[in-house]
Each structure stands twice: as C-alpha cells, then as structure tokens.
Amino acid sequence: MSATITSIAHYLPPDIYTNEYFEKYLETSNEWILARTGIHERRFLKEGATSDLIVPAAEECIAKRGIDKNEIDCILVATVTPDHNFPSTAAIVQHKLGIKNCWGFDISAACSGFVFAMATAASLVNSGAAKKVLLCGGDKMSSIVNFNDRAQAILFGDGAGVCLIEKSDDEAKGMLDQLLFIDGNGGQYLHQKAGGSAKPASHESVDNQEHYIYQDGQAVFKAAVVGMADVSTEIMKRNNLTSEDIAWLVPHQANLRIISATANRMGIGPEKVMINIDKYGNTTAGTIPICLSEWLSNGKIKDGDNLVLSSFGAGFTWGAIYLKWHTNGVI
C-alpha cells in the first residue's frame, strides 16, 4: 500500500527583496550573502498571514486535480508561523476554501514540517482514515524575522506549497519509505523565546525582542550538515538505491552549503539537486513543496523517477522520504 501526490501547486508573494535591499541598511553585502548562503533574493508578503500564502496554492492544487473541493476529507498545515496560536491554520484554510465535512490540524516541525506532515498524510491515507488529504506547507517567516539582525534577516522568505495526497493506484510507486527524527536538545540553538505558554507576551518580552527567531547559526549549520546527509544516505542504503538510481534530491532550502554537503555525501551531482534558494531563501515548511511544484511544472519530473526529500530544522527535527514519482494518471 502506498500514498502518492496527485496534484501540487505553490504560491509566492509578488514582492521581491534582493540582497541589495539589505545592503542599504545593514552591514552586509551581496557577496557575503551569496557566498555563505547561496541566496540572492526572497519574497515577503506585505499584508496577510500564512493562510493567505496557502489558500491560493490550495485553490490551484484542487483545480489542477479537477475534483470537487468537498471530496477533501482532511487538511494538514505544516507551519511555525500559524495565523494565530489558535484556532489552527488548518481551520482557517478550511473556512477560506469553504470545504465542508472535513477535519484537520496543524503540524509544528519547523523546516521538517512538510516532510513530517507528508508522512502523517500518507499514514492517514494508508490506514483508510482519509482518502484525499490537502497537505499544506507554508510560512510567513517575515512575521518572526528580526530585520535588524543581519545573520537572520537575509536568510528567510515567505511562501507555500500545497499538494493532494491520495492512495497510489500502483503500489510500487508513491511514498515508499520514511526516516524521521526529533531531538529536543537542539531546541537551545533555534527557537522563539516568547509568545508561548513558557513566556507569554509582555511589555518586557517585546522590549527584549523575544518574539523574533533566536538562532545560533553555526551550531545549527553543523548539526544540519550531519543530520541531512546521514538521513539521506541511510534512506538510500536501506532501499538499495545508488546515486545513479536517484533522479532528484529535494532538499530543504536553508543554506546552499548544507545542500551541497548533503548531495556530496550521497554522491549526487548538482544537476540532480533541486535548488531554488537563490530566488526564495528559506521559506521553512514551504521549501520542499515549492521545489516539487516548480520542477513538475517545468516538466523535469517523470513517472518512475526516484526522489529523496530531505530536511533539517528547529527542534531539532530532521528526516527523509523516498518517493517514487507516480503520475497516478492525473499529473
């Protein structure tokens, strides 16, 4: 039994912020940002929330599949920038899309959010608990980035990707394996200090700028390089995949150097790695579905292609999914 993607779309806000934008007010340079991260530009949503990134992608995804939206029986939203702490962004997305008779919930796993949510969606479909899961990954990172901190302002962007997960009509294709991890010891290196029940918002927390991202970049970088490479090589090994067998590595887009280190360890050349960090920066739960959606619409993913989706993020959370691409007769 396997679950597969039967439709996919993405949304990026129109407003582009290049490295030159940051050069104007921060002590940084296009050269530093490109060399250290691979990012040249990113998009920020000027008005609206994460659900406003997800809804246009979801509408396109449903239209491409050509189904009645009410056939969707579950909505999962992977995000660390929910519209509100509660209600869930899944409920807001459901309401904005006007889908009747479905359930859903949010998944918080930061940059691994999409991979974790995809594994969850597959379990729901494989168990028969759901037939058509609307799987959404998106973040409005500009709502939590400290734009006066040069080490984080340049890294992130806003965007979302949405796909439909359904039962595969070919059991040998679709999502064939997953390897997922969480280690709370990594929390100290990447977190948001205030705004949760541990430290509710107060004048003091706002004065101390504790609602922004806190990141020890080097510590996260070191753990990400090891975590993403390990999990990606392990999933190849246990599925007897050589680098020749892989059509595409679909890595979370946090830093081009982390992506390159992962690809090197897998023995995969740059021509087989999906990279769009240069255009969009790190959109957290959005990076992997945005890549998949772009590559598919450019005709670069073929039926039967072996894809390894790989991520690392706050928690720490990390994981990989082995996906044998299946058109299922619909995409």
Q: Which residues bind ligand UT7 (CB under 6 A)?
A: 28, 32-33, 36-37, 111, 150-151, 154, 217-218, 220-221, 224, 254-255, 258, 282, 313
Q: Which is nearer to ligand UT7, 154 or 320 (CB)?
A: 154
Q: Which of the residues 74, 102, 111, 136 is marked catalytic? A: 111
Closest among 214, 182, 15, 192 to 107, alpha carbons compared: 182
Q: Which is nearer to ligand UT7, 192 or 297 (CB)?
A: 192
- Residue least distant from ligand UT7 (Cβ): 217
DSSP string, 127-145: HTS-S-EEEEEEEEGGGT-
b/e code 44-58 from CB counts within 10 Å (16+ = b):
bbeeebbbbbbbbbb
Residues 6+ apart with CB under 8 A from 128: none
CB of 44 to ligand UT7, least distance (A): 16
User: Which amino acid is present at 129?
Assistant: A
252 is known as an active-site residue? yes
Closest among 72, 78, 56, 219 to 136, alpha carbons compared: 78
Q: Which of the residues 19, 252, 306, 328 is marked catalytic? A: 252
Tokens 């979370």 locate to: 252
Closest among 294, 313, 190 to 252, alpha carbons compared: 313
- Look up residue 327 and give its two tokens: 């058109």
Q: Which of the residues 19, 282, 306, 328 is marked catalytic? A: 282
282 is known as an active-site residue? yes
CB of 35 to ligand UT7, least distance (A): 9
Neighbour count for residue 271 (Cβ, 10 Å): 6
203 is known as an active-site residue? no
Q: Which is nearer to ligand UT7, 29 or 242 (CB)?
A: 29
CB of 25 to ligand UT7, least distance (A): 12
CB of 116 to ligand UT7, least distance (A): 14
Q: Which is nearer to ligand UT7, 130 or 320 (CB)?
A: 320
For the annotated catalytic residues, the residue numbers are 111, 252, 282
